[in-house]
Amino acid sequence: MKIIQVGAGGFGESWLEIVMIAPEWEVAGVVDINQNVLKKVKEKWNFSDEKLFTSLDECLKKVKADALLNVTPPEFHKEITVKGIKSGLHVLVEKPMADTLKNAEEMVEVAEKYRKKLMVSQNYRYRKGARSLRKFIEEGLLGNISYCNLNFQKGPKFKGFRIKMEYPLLIDMSIHHFDLLRYILGKEPVSVYAESFNPCWSWFSGDACLNIIFEFQDNIRVNYSGSWVSKGKETPWDGEWEIYGENGTVIWNEKIKFISEGKEEEVEMISMEREERDYSLLEFYRSIKEDREPETSGRDNIKSLKMVFNSLKAIKRGRRVSFI
């Protein structure tokens, strides 16, 4: 199938490498408002000028395609996605699906009205670690779960849109962890209490740290502690996970370990035909071919996005926010 990629700088550059080698997909066009980005694409991939556009409207007029991949900053996700869908394209959009819940809901509505697939590339779900942990929990080896500690510590020196965001970690990154929580626990959130802050040495203008308590279905509590300005300890991008159940504790920190009654054993990782964004692309392709909802569809992703925006409400109001 033919795909138009919109946004080819930053993360889009590596996306293009993935799309170019995906056997299911052919790049029909690349759109980026930045001429220098297009110049780099042209040089690297030897594309003809007919495939490169600074305007999506122009591209949609001139290029025939089945789908659109949206790798622009979040504030442009809705406009580009809706335009793509209304032009008859299925859309795979980078996380976070949109910059506001309202915009995300509108994207889902338009996709349903035009009967097009809308999938969010929640690539953290499409890795061996997350899928192996989910399997372990699904099999019931931990018994009833009561609580989970999730610690995320990184110190990336980003340039661009994140530096000026009011809540960079919450809006741009935590969606990965929140989506993983729903996926791994197999439960939906019920309420949230959240605080954000910015350490004195932070290089972000907005709050780069979070302390959040979620209550999930079946009385499960999650303690989420996150920072984007750690100058010392760093965790994996997935975070460091401890899940406590009636049969013991499962720990995920690159490897997965199960501790029960003083004994510790490593949990075997499952194998996957493809991982990460390669898997997102494959799942997107299959959902179109099989005419079914993709795993991380826009509709499903609204539930993960609500965790972001209800956390934001809780931060601003200084009290617990209910999801119901």
Ligand X SMILES: NC(=O)c1ccc[n+]([C@@H]2O[C@H](COP(=O)([O-])OP(=O)(O)OC[C@H]3O[C@@H](n4cnc5c(N)ncnc54)[C@H](O)[C@@H]3O)[C@@H](O)[C@H]2O)c1
Binding residues (CB under 6 A) for ligand X: these are 6-12, 31-34, 37, 56, 71-74, 76, 94-95, 123, 160-161, 172
* Cα 267 to Cα 255: distance, rounded to the nearest angstrom: 8
Q: How far is the CB of 34 from ligand X (least distance, A)?
A: 4
| Residue 27 three-state SS | strand
**Contact call for residues 85 and 60 (beta carbons, < 8 A):** no
* Cα 197 to Cα 182: distance, rounded to the nearest angstrom: 25
DSSP label of 41: H
**Contact call for residues 4 and 29 (beta carbons, < 8 A):** yes
Q: Give, in degrees to the nearest 5, the angle at Cα 71 between 291 and 56.
A: 85
Q: How far is the CB of 226 from ligand X (least distance, A)?
A: 15
Q: How far is the CB of 63 from ligand X (least distance, A)?
A: 14
**Number of residues in the chain:** 324
Q: How far is the CB of 59 from ligand X (least distance, A)?
A: 9
Is 10 or 199 the residue whose CB approaches ligand X more closely? 10
Residue 236 to residues 74, 129, 255: CA-CA distances in angstroms? Answer: 24, 11, 11
Q: How far is the CB of 36 from ligand X (least distance, A)?
A: 9
Residue 102 to residues 108, 309, 313: CA-CA distances in angstroms? Answer: 10, 10, 14
Is 15 or 25 the residue whose CB approaches ligand X more closely? 15
Q: How far is the CB of 76 from ligand X (least distance, A)?
A: 4
Is 70 or 258 the residue whose CB approaches ligand X more closely? 70
DSSP label of 124: G
Is 34 or 219 the residue whose CB approaches ligand X more closely? 34
Q: How far is the CB of 131 from ligand X (least distance, A)?
A: 16
- Beta bridge partners, 90, equal 67
Instruction: Looking at 229-317, list the stretches that DSSP marks H as alpha helix, in order from N- to C-terminal side.
Output: 276-289, 298-317
Q: What is the DSSP string of 192-216?
A: EEEEEE--TT-SSSS--EEEEEEEE
Is 136 or 309 the residue whose CB approaches ligand X more closely? 309
Is 57 or 218 the residue whose CB approaches ligand X more closely? 57
Angle between helices 11-21 and 276-289 (to 10 degrees): 60
Is 169 or 267 the residue whose CB approaches ligand X more closely? 169
Q: How far is the CB of 143 from ligand X (least distance, A)?
A: 33
Is 9 or 294 the residue whose CB approaches ligand X more closely? 9
* Cα 163 to Cα 242: distance, rounded to the nearest angstrom: 30
